């Protein structure tokens, strides 16, 4: 379950729009915009990887994501924890809270989120 950097960029536009035609996706890119053929190739690869599907309307295709952004992001965070923190969420949390320069308020907010999750479990 991996996308290239250019596929991820396109996927982010599609996640924001939820569904889009080629012209909508091209419009989302900053200048200089990629060629239509480049975006078409990316969409074809992403469709083959089962990240994107489309509905056909005449000669046009309306693309939509098959995977949610949170699902994709969660998969990568789990891989990060597995590959860099020996599979330990505690090691990841320790690194995240100590090495990212979080303020006391940000740490308190994080603690509240963790407490809320503990209540739901």
Residue 99 and residue 77 in one domain: yes
Q: Which pLDDT score, from 0 to 100, does residue 13 have?
A: 97
Same domain? 52 vs 93: no
Domain extent for 102:
69-120
Task: Kindly state whether residues 61 and 93 are assigned to the same domain.
Answer: no
In this prediction, residue 29 carries a pLDDT of 96
Structural contact between residues 79 and 71, judged by C-beta atoms closer than 8 angstroms: no
CATH code where residue 44 lies: 1.10.10.10
Dihedral (C-alpha) 39, 41, 46, 50: value to the nearest 10 degrees?
Answer: 130
Q: What is the 3-state secondary structure (H, E, C) of 20-74?
A: EEHHHHHHHCCCCCCCHHHHHHHHHHHHHCCCEEEEEECCEEEEEECCCHHHHHH
Do 30 and 77 lie in one domain? The reply is no
Domain count, the chain: 2
Render each residue's pLDDT in the chain as its tens digit; 121 residues. 789 999 999 999 999 999 999 999 999 999 999 999 999 999 999 999 999 999 999 999 999 999 999 999 998 889 889 999 999 988 888 888 888 888 889 989 988 988 898 888 8
51 and 76: one domain? Answer: no
């Amino acid at each position: 379950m991996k996308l290239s950097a250019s596929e991820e960029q396109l996927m982010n536009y599609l996640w924001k729009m939820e569904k889009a035609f080629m012209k909508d996706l091209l419009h989302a890119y900053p200048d200089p915009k990629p060629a239509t053929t480049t975006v078409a190739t990316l969409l074809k690869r992403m469709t083959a990887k089962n990240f994107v599907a489309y509905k056909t309307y005449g000669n046009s295709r309306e693309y939509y994501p098959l995977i949610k952004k949170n699902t994709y992001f969660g998969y990568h965070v789990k891989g990060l924890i597995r590959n860099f923190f020996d599979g330990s969420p505690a090691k990841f949390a320790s690194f995240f809270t100590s090495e990212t320069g979080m303020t006391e308020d940000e740490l308190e907010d994080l603690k509240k989120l963790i407490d809320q999750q503990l209540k739901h479990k």
